[in-house]
Amino acid sequence: MSTLLIAGGHVIDPKNGVDGVADVFVRDGKIAAVGRNLKEKADKKIDAKGLTVTPGLIDLHVHFREPGREDKETFETASKAALAGGITAAVAMPNTNPIADNQTVVEFILKRSRDLDLINIYPTGAITKGQEGAMLSEINELKNSGAVAITDDGHDVQKEGVLKRAMEYARTCGVLLMSHCETKDLTEDGVMHEGWISTQLGLPGSPALSEDMAVYKNILLAEKTGARLHLMHNSTAGSMRAIREAKKRGAKNITAEVSVQHFALTDKECMGYNTLAKMYPPLRSQEHIDAIIAGIKDGTVDAFTTDHAPHIEPEKLKAFQDAAFGTVGLETSFAVMNTYLVKPKHISLKQGIEKMTSSPARIIGINKGHLSKGADADIAIFDTEKEWVVDEKKFLSKGKNSAFIGKKLRGKAVYTIVGGVVKYDNGTIIA
Position 351 confidence tier, pLDDT thresholds 50, 70, 90: very high
Whether 147 and 27 map to the same domain: the answer is no
Whether 241 and 123 map to the same domain: the answer is yes
**Mean pLDDT along residues 340-347:** 98
Q: What is the pLDDT of residue 147?
A: 98
Whether 84 and 166 map to the same domain: the answer is yes
Averaged pLDDT of the chain: 98
Q: What is the pLDDT of residue 281?
A: 97
| b/e map 386-413, b = 16+ CB within 10 Å | eeeebebeebbbbbbbbbbbebebbbbb
Whether 62 and 44 map to the same domain: the answer is no
Give a yes or no: residue 43 inside a domain: yes
Position 431 confidence tier, pLDDT thresholds 50, 70, 90: confident
Give a yes or no: residue 393 inside a domain: no
Give a yes or no: residue 396 inside a domain: no
Look up the pTM and report it. Answer: 0.98
Residue 46 pLDDT > 80, yes or no?
yes
Whether 25 and 64 map to the same domain: the answer is no
**Mean pLDDT along residues 59-71:** 98
Whether 167 and 268 map to the same domain: the answer is yes
Q: What is the pLDDT of residue 337?
A: 99
Give a yes or no: residue 370 inside a domain: no
Whether 44 and 133 map to the same domain: the answer is no
Q: What is the pLDDT of residue 315?
A: 98
d(CA 336, CA 264): 7
**Mean pLDDT along residues 193-197:** 98
Query: Choosing from 152, 302, 307, 376, which is the catalytic residue?
Result: 307
**Mean pLDDT along residues 34-60:** 97
Whether 188 and 255 map to the same domain: the answer is yes
Give a yes or no: residue 92 inside a domain: yes
Count up the domains in the chain and report the number.
2
Domain CATH for 413? 2.30.40.10
Give a yes or no: residue 372 inside a domain: no
Phi-psi sector, 141: left (phi>0), alpha (psi -120 to 50), beta:
alpha
Q: What is the pLDDT of residue 383?
A: 98
Give a yes or no: residue 394 inside a domain: no
Give tens-digit pLDDT for 221-280.
Answer: 999 999 999 999 999 999 999 999 999 999 999 999 999 999 999 999 999 999 999 999
Residues near 274 by beta carbon (within 8 Å), at least 6 away in sequence: none
Radius of gyration from C-alpha coordinates of the chain: 21
Q: What is the pLDDT of residue 244?
A: 98
Residue 1 pLDDT > 90, yes or no?
no
**Mean pLDDT along residues 67-78:** 98
Give which of 44, 86, 8 is closest to 415, Cα–Cα.
86
Give tens-digit pLDDT for 2-25.
Answer: 999 999 999 999 999 999 999 999
Q: What is the pLDDT of residue 154?
A: 86
Q: Residue 258's domain spans which residues?
A: 57-364
Give a yes or no: residue 129 inside a domain: yes
Domain CATH for 94? 3.20.20.140
Whether 216 and 329 map to the same domain: the answer is yes
Give tens-digit pLDDT for 361-394.
Answer: 999 999 999 999 999 999 999 999 999 999 999 9
Whether 29 and 118 map to the same domain: the answer is no
Whether 185 and 316 map to the same domain: the answer is yes
Whether 198 and 317 map to the same domain: the answer is yes
Reply yes or no on whether 307 is catalytic.
yes
Instruction: For the chain, give the longest Cα–Cα distance.
Output: 66
